Structure 1
Amino acid sequence: MEPVHIIGAGLAGSEAAWQIARAGVPVILHEMRPAKSTFAHRTGDCAEMVCSNSFRSDDDVMNAVGQLHWEMRAADGLIMQMAARHRLPAGGALAVDRDAFSAAVTQALRAEPLVTIRPGEITELPEGGNWIVATGPLTSDPLADAIRRLTGREALAFFDAIAPIVHADTIDMSVAWEQSRYDKGETPAERKAYINCPMTKPEYEAFIDALLAAEKTEFHEGETAGYFDGCLPIEVMAERGRETLRHGPMKPVGLTNAHRPEDKPYAVVQLRRDNALGTLYNIVGFQTKMKYGAQTRVFRMIPGLQNASFARLGGIHRNSFLNSPSLLDDRMRLRVAPHLRFAGQITGVEGYVESAAMGLLAGRMAAAQALGRDLPPPPATTAMGALVNHITGGAEAKTFQPMNVNFGLFPPLPEARSGRRGRKDRYPAYTQRAKDDFGAWLAAQ
């Protein structure tokens, strides 16, 4: 049997390779790292997590991304398996020790007899075969040029940002305290999954002033792409209004200062554990385009971080993605070259989970093709089906932008089932319908 080829061993490519091998089809996974890296990657491991260590909410009753977790687990997804093994306390979120997680994904793929990991950069698109392009938003320039030549269209682009990581032993715990918002979590560790740094109103105002005045990274001439709203730099949020951060990543609700319970913080900066040892914490929601020197000065204004040492500072990079509604069919194939499927963030989904889910789906479709079958996408009533429907035709091509999974992508519930009830009734109805329909889709394969 001819193997399926995958370009890119990120979250999408790794998941696709796993699904193909599990179907009994050989697969060759091409990865240019570590011989050729990107500014954002640090290793040559598969499924390296760059911007964050969180897969977001794991609630599969009230949350669309939690439903996507459920579907990936139901489909024997590698990413969710390894995430469960290397999970860190994070309240209701699924956060992982990112280094241990990517090492485990790499080990699992190398141990799979039908998977061959082949190092080296692919710079041209093949003319035939069964291929998946899962190179992500940091696709190398030669391959991006090849995609543009083939499609005859310019890829869209947006700027994405990375949050800084702090050494835990440099956080002043006489000022900060451990608590998940609203004490959420089933265990004591989960209820103390975040470190919280409180701010008074004068401290917040001074922080906003410094943030707005700090020296920022300037874009090159001609770089006019916008930001993805789910990953805005904090400076951009602050420019939208001085109170914006207090109603976003610095909101003080659901938290009580353990040192001074009677004082209500005006704003709170949260840090989330980044590794299993608990030696590293990332600053939640603090993606930034400030220059490095400015970052250290401004972030040390945060109470509890006045002596912080940074394992990694934040940064900003240009992400590229396809205008998928105009280019891809519902099997995720390039219309002008159907031997090429695309998966992951390059298709215009946003987020680790969404990227891996599109890899899972592309892998299953490619494996079905290799076995002489055709696999339709899951129903649009499922989280995975809603995403693929959005990127391959549900969205307007002229205004297409990266999108996280959300209930707004799901078909409305029948009136008899939804009525005029609130989200506490509607969301469980969405997820139960998705579970039923996704299970039926799996059973039909």
Structure 2
Amino acid sequence: MTHPLHIIGGGMAGSEAAWQAVQMGVPVVIHEMRPKTGTFAHQTGDLAEMVCSNSFRSDDNEQNAVGLLHWEMREADGLIMEMADRHRLPAGGALAVDREPFAADVTARLQAHPLVTISGDEITALPETGPVIIATGPLTSGALAEAIAAETGQDSLAFFDAIAPIVYADSIDMSKAWMQSRYDKGETEEERTAYLNCPMDRDQYEAFIDALLSAEKTAFKPGETAGYFDGCLPIEVMAERGRETLRFGPMKPVGLTNPHQPDVKAYAVVQLRRDNKLGTLFNIVGFQTKMKYGAQSTVFKMIPGLENASFARLGGIHRNTFINSPTLLDDQMRLRSKPHIRFAGQITGVEGYVESAAMGLLAGRMAAAELRGETLTPVPHVTAMGALIHHITGGAEAKTFQPMNVNFGLFPPVEGLEGGRRGRKDRYKAYTDRAKAAWTEWLGQTTLDAA
């Protein structure tokens, strides 16, 4: 029998890595310390638990880089995308997921596979033999993080991440709020009414900003100097950048018409997105926060429609860690100093559920191929997968390396666009057409039948 692949961490990346490996006939052992050893953000012991947003972001695979990444993962028979599609919630053009059954189904699928073993032990040191994939995510346990730092000769880089609050739907005043996706986006009525909207006039907005800026915040511990990831800034940090910042960000009022007052244009709008299939929970979009719990309840109840809101979960902030991948990993995602160890997921410096799972997909395939005595050809840089792996394993500037979502800025330019293809829509379509062709070809060359 093939030597087993050990995967440390059962989040998005670890789960996807395990699935890809067993599909290639390689047995895996998933080491997941939860629920025996918990974290600040996790609530369960399920694999692939969604701890922040429940959104996989845009599902448009012709005009959006993360939508293209969705497409590539589906083409590779990715488990995470299969389960996300199964538990999809209405969210306009975004892919939102009913988080609890999603994680439960990922867990059940892996538990049922004859080549998968799940161990509940916490790994506190770097294994001396392999093959191993470390996919512990941004909430890597302290002992393992110290072991990684000791091996790499440098402290792990870090940033702070924030979580948005979740509200019980039946506590929202629908005489003030209404259901509508921005610009009525969506093919069905359910999609066109996927978001719940709470309007503010100018006075309400100004009072809200004042309260937000003066609210008591969670203080960092002495010596904590990490910055924020720009894609997940606390709402009060955005407000500190200017009083109008939120009106051009998560509270922008465009594309929405209040049916209660159709002739009155809102000065700002707070949107909530469905958080479960039953529609009993809604998360406040873009409202990640570091306010203390008491302050959150007071400030968020200033939002029209949320005056009597009951919160299933308040927001919070936690420290995330990631390694300086451009200096530490080779193009097969192996640790240069210990090549029997691969890294995958957010700990490598990609940001987002989908990006993390995508790096798990590649790490799982690479490790499984190596166990079978094969080496996968490099992933084309023109694909979303290739753009990400190239960025973290050498494309990024090591001195300024920070977590990154997939975006078209990571892709090589498309030749010939300076002629007739000048518009952004045409340019993005050219990127996605090129990527799909290259990804299909790469899958055809490298996909292995399960043994």
The TM-score, its normalising length taken from structure 1, stands at 0.99
C-alpha contact (below 8 Å) 1:417/1:429 kept by paired residues: no
Corresponding residue number in structure 2 for 1:299: 300
**Amino acid paired to 1:51:** C
Q: Which residue of 2 aligns with 1:33?
A: 34
Consecutive unaligned residues of structure 2, counting only runs of 5 or more, are 447-451
Q: What's the % identity of the aligned pairs? A: 75
Q: Which residue of 2 aligns with 1:134?
A: 135
Aligned partner of 2:330 in structure 1 is: 329
Contact 1:377–1:388 (CA<8 Å) still a contact in 2? no
Match of 1:53 in 2: 54
Answer whether contact 1:167 1:281 (CA < 8 A) is retained: yes
Aligned to 2:268: 267
Q: Do the aligned partners of residues 419 and 130 (structure 1) sit closer, same or farther apart at CA in structure 2, a change above 3 Å counting? A: farther
Which residue number in structure 2 is paired with residue 422 of structure 1? 423
Deviation at 1:59? 0.2
Q: Deviations over 1:143-177 (max 9, x none)?
A: 00110111111111000000000000000000000
1: CA distance between counterparts of 2:421 and 2:180? 36
CA distance in 1, matches of 2:111, 2:97: 21
Mapping for residues 121-160 of structure 1, pairs under 5 Å: 121-160=122-161
Shift of the alpha carbon at 1:111? 1.1
Q: Which residue of 1 aligns with 2:409?
A: 408
Q: Are residues 1:110 and 2:111 paired?
A: yes
Equivalent residue of 1:298, what SS? helix
Q: Which residue of 2 aligns with 1:19?
A: 20
SS state of the match for residue 444, structure 1? Answer: helix
Which letter maps to 1:7?
I
What is the correspondence of 1:280-319 to structure 2 with a 5 Å cutoff?
Answer: 280-319=281-320
Q: What secondary structure, in the 3-state scheme, does the structure 1 residue paired with 2:137 have? A: coil
Q: State the partner residue of 2:372.
A: 371
8 Å Cα contact 1:157/1:226 also seen in 2: yes
Distance (whole Å) between structure 1 residues aligned to residue 378 and residue 181 of structure 2: 37
> Which residue in the other structure is 2:396 paired with?
395
Q: Which amino acid aligns with 1:158?
A: F
TM-score when normalising by structure 2: 0.98
How far apart, CA to CA, are the structure 2 residues paired with 1:78 and 1:162?
25
C-alpha contact 2:417 2:427 (8 A) present in aligned 1: no
In the alignment, what sits opposite 2:204?
Answer: 203
Q: Which amino acid aligns with 1:281?
A: F
The answer to whether the Cα contact below 8 Å between 1:10 and 1:134 also exists between their aligned partners in 2 is: yes
- Cα distance, 1:382 vs. partner? 0.2
| Corresponding residue of 1:241 | 242
* Aligned pairs, number: 445
1:444 alignment partner AA: Q
Per-residue deviation, 1:90: 0.3
Match of 1:253 in 2: 254
**TM-aligned CA deviation for residue 311 of structure 1:** 0.2
- Looking at structure 2, the residues matched to 418 and 278 of structure 1 have their Cα atoms a distance apart, in angstroms, of 48
Q: How far off is 1:331 after superposition?
A: 0.4
Q: Distance in 2 between matches of 1:191 and 1:283?
A: 18
Which SS does the other structure have where 1:71 is aligned? helix
- Of 430-439 and 371-380, deviating more is 371-380
1:437 matched residue in structure 2: 438
Secondary structure of 1:265's partner? coil
Q: CA deviation at 1:375?
A: 1.2
Preserved CA contact (<8 Å) 1:418 1:425: no
